[in-house]
Structure 1
């Protein structure tokens, strides 16, 4: 009798965690490599679970795909690992006639940039091909946080094989996926895509897994599965531990059965004792065939609080739009910064932009200074957010705080690594890159948190992305812009540009895009400053002509300032003809230089309007 036939009339028990036992043995490298180097260890674990009462075991192949194995330099071992894994599992299962599932693990977490769907399908074809050649009783897809990935995998596998497919999502919060999709809806979709068994695994312990299934209807044709963690994880003396008694896990299995689950196993933290407890509790229980689900009240998501300012990206599509960067202080004296921001904003610019600890050096929080500028001085600010300094918890908290303060213009950047800054020993976080951060901010605009939970109100962020045009092959940089647009970028802000030719090149390379671009102009203050920018700051390059002009000013500070402004004005002449957006970067809090450039742009625009009116009048 096949797996699906048995599930029609019986509750079945699956095995528990493989990695938990290997970790407890002191093994902390690629577990799939053990299929070749220590097959007896893997077979022994299978046998322990079978002895505990598991009706189903899974192959030790969770990360046995080219994408995941590349981190170990083992991407050419896909065939060997998978073929060996299924041989080991079948050998262990042979005496008791247990079912053997070929395991395929999720690749993406919250970072879609970890792999494209095409790359995932290519890796899937390779791994699934070797697993299917070993004639498994089914394929187990587990620990998929990204529903787009799992949907793609299920649909692709259904075209390749008729063997049963067990398709399991992972959730950060009970009953909802990280994209905001309800678990019940997700499982129904997976059934429609061709999965025979649908369910959940990992991340949540028994309590929250049961809670998640309370809102899940019995599928029309598929069966439900659940592989909870033993508990929420903890860390003791640097080691991951799970606090859960086996009997508690077994009692929880009965409650999962009461929610309609027919296949119950274990994920992280579970051991043969947990599986033995599950088997003892559910072996003689019939499956649930009818279930009434009380529909939960849908949480209303209110519309975003409207800003009386027009979003920068909308304004820049139509007319001249100037923003000016002013670095927040590296000390606690703020008077000069506030004075500069007041004078800059009084000229009529659209926003004062503030970096987020640029060059990995600590400054007063741009959230704090942005709040002061808004509340005390009615100044609109644009806050940069780097992925370097905050994990996902901190990023969401920070963004929620910005929304509460009414700071709606955001520049999402990956950020300079900490080793370039004042504290080279500090940790760079990088839970996500700027690409994912843009997507997550847009998710907040839909009223959905990073974990998928409703936020009760939509955020109202206009999201800028960084653009570094100072590269050898501009086409590649433009391809990255297009990816950022796909992720939701509303407009772009460039690194400072120092040649008119580069500005023209940017225009030609991006004129097919409708997304506005703000061209970065930063006046130089002297030759030392110029050479530092050119030789040491990532993403900035000066031309030989500009370096020579600044070198000619020698040690004369006034002459150097004048020459720096003259160069900036020449660049503005070209930028203003081709782009509506101008981004002036104030050097060293020298807002007097920025003021002169703002006035220059405004005079240019007045002149342009006057020339237009003159031509119109004379014709």
Structure 2
């Protein structure tokens, strides 16, 4: 009898974790390579699960795709390792007639920038074809946090075979995926795409897995599966461990059956002993054919509180808008920064922008300085880098900003630590700047990074960085378009030092509706001009500007005046083409920025006079 026919009238027991057993043997390298290096051991694990009562076993092929195998230099062994995986499982199941599911594991987590969806589907196709050639009883797609990846994978696999497909999501929070979709809705979508069995595995232990299924209706044309972890994970002496109460796990299997689950196995931390207990607990039980699902808890979402000021991306669409940047101090004396901020804001800046430990060197926290500015009625804009915080820290930081009423954010990748004061420090980079933009916009929908409701919508206006100082501007513009797709509200450019570049930027971006703030930073000396021109990637001054700064020699006052004069010439061109101007204050010299702001206002008044 085929698998789906059995599930019509029975609750079946699947196997547990293969990786957990291999870890217990001290094998922490590429587990899929054991299919050819230690085939007798893999077959032994399969037979142990069969002896424990498993009706279904899965192949040892979870990470046997070219992307994951590349970590071990085995990307060219995909066919060999998957062929061996299916052969070993079928050999072990031959005597007892157990079903064999060919396993394909998810690749993406929250971070999506490392590999494209097209790349994922290409390697999945290669793996799936190798597994299907071994004639399994079905395909098991497991541990998918990214729902887009899973839905596209289901479509791909269904195009390759009519074998039963088991599609299992993984959740950070019970009952909801990381994109905020409910488990019930996710199952309905997977069923519609052709999955025959829809379920959950990994991350959550039995308690939270049961809790997740309580809000799920019985699918109309599919069955449900559950492979919980043995418990929530813990760390002991650097090793991942799981609490392992066998009787508790068996009772949980009965509760899962009561929620309508018909295929029950185990994920991380489970062993043949867990499966033996599950089999014993389920043996006399028939499937549940009707249930009253609990209503999905409705979290009343408060709308984001309206901002007092107009969002920058809205203002820059129709009128002049000025962002000024002032670096927070690298020491504990803050009065100079505060006085500069007061004067710049009083002179007409829309916001005072603060970097997030620029050049990977520690400065006073911009969230702290932003709070101090806000107390004085000055609107802050804070950078947020991917470098310094993991996902936990990023969400916590953003929630804190929202609580403080700081809603203007520039999401950036962040300079690598090797350029800063602590070159040996770790760079985090859990996500890219594009992914961070998407996650911030998810908070604006009232959904946390893990998919959990936040009870209130955040209200962030998100800027993205734009580097126009590249050889091929079209590529930089294509990157802008991708950032717009991720949710960028407007762009702030790196400093531009030639009038021709400003015009080029306008011509290359005039098709975009998303505003751009053009960066202008006055140089303060010939040495600083040389440094920017020769050592800062992507920045080039004109030959005329270099010559003019060189002519100033060591005369500081003359150099300041010339630097402002050059910047005014750039401002004049930028103001013709762009409403948004971004003035970068060099070395806390806010007197220079004030002079440029005064000049911008003069240009605008002259323009109004001409139009009148």
Same fold (TM over 0.5): yes
Matches within 5 A, 1:105-116: 105-116=105-116
Matches within 5 A, 1:202-601: 202-375=202-375, 377-601=376-600
Deviation of 1:534 after TM superposition, in Å, equals 3.2
Distance 1:251 1:487 in 2: 44
Deviation of 1:294 after TM superposition, in Å, equals 2.6
**Corresponding residue SS for 1:384:** strand
Provide structure 2 residue ranges, at least 5 long, that are not aligned to the other structure: none
Kept in 1: contact 2:253–2:282 (CA 8 A): yes
Distance 1:560 1:29 in 2: 60
Distance 2:108 2:506 in 1: 35
Kept in 2: contact 1:586–1:593 (CA 8 A): yes
**Corresponding residue SS for 1:114:** coil
Deviation of 1:545 after TM superposition, in Å, equals 3.7
Deviation of 1:113 after TM superposition, in Å, equals 2.4
Deviations 1:429-477 (A, max 9, x none): 1111101100000001111111111111111111000011112222211
Matches within 5 A, 1:79-228: 79-228=79-228
**Corresponding residue SS for 1:316:** helix
- Residue 74 of structure 2 corresponds to 74
Distance 1:543 1:273 in 2: 73
Kept in 2: contact 1:102–1:140 (CA 8 A): yes
Deviations 1:527-559 (A, max 9, x none): 222233334434433344433332332221112
**Corresponding residue SS for 1:4:** helix
Distance 1:41 1:539, change over 3 A: farther
- Residue 21 of structure 1 corresponds to 21
Distance 1:57 1:312, change over 3 A: same
Kept in 2: contact 1:107–1:114 (CA 8 A): no
Kept in 2: contact 1:495–1:539 (CA 8 A): no
Deviation of 1:183 after TM superposition, in Å, equals 0.7
Distance 1:54 1:532 in 2: 68
Deviation of 1:193 after TM superposition, in Å, equals 1.2
Q: Does 1:30 align with 2:21?
A: no
Moved more, 135-144 or 110-119: 110-119
Deviations 1:461-499 (A, max 9, x none): 110000111122222111111110000000000111111
Distance 1:539 1:246 in 2: 60
Deviation of 1:147 after TM superposition, in Å, equals 1.0
Distance 1:31 1:474 in 2: 45
- Residue 11 of structure 1 corresponds to 11
**Corresponding residue SS for 1:317:** helix
**Corresponding residue SS for 2:518:** strand
TM-score by length of 1: 0.97
Distance 2:533 2:19 in 1: 49
Aligned residues: 612
Distance 2:52 2:544 in 1: 77
**Corresponding residue SS for 1:22:** helix
Deviation of 1:297 after TM superposition, in Å, equals 4.0
- Residue 64 of structure 1 corresponds to 64
Distance 2:296 2:54 in 1: 35
Deviations 1:48-96 (A, max 9, x none): 2112211111111112222222333322222112111111111111121
Deviation of 1:512 after TM superposition, in Å, equals 1.3
**Corresponding residue SS for 1:109:** coil
Deviations 1:119-156 (A, max 9, x none): 22222221111111111100001011111111111123
**Corresponding residue SS for 1:289:** coil
Moved more, 15-24 or 517-526: 15-24
**Corresponding residue SS for 2:383:** strand
Q: Does 1:605 align with 2:604?
A: yes
Distance 2:67 2:327 in 1: 41
Distance 1:380 1:287 in 2: 61
Provide structure 1 residue ranges, at least 5 long, that are not aligned to the other structure: 614-619
Root mean square deviation of aligned Cα: 1.4
Distance 1:174 1:465 in 2: 33
- Residue 616 of structure 1 corresponds to none
Distance 1:114 1:179 in 2: 19
Distance 1:540 1:347 in 2: 28
Deviation of 1:363 after TM superposition, in Å, equals 0.9
Distance 1:554 1:211, change over 3 A: same
Distance 1:500 1:275 in 2: 71
**Corresponding residue SS for 2:113:** helix
Distance 1:470 1:40 in 2: 58
Kept in 1: contact 2:106–2:144 (CA 8 A): yes
Distance 2:354 2:203 in 1: 37
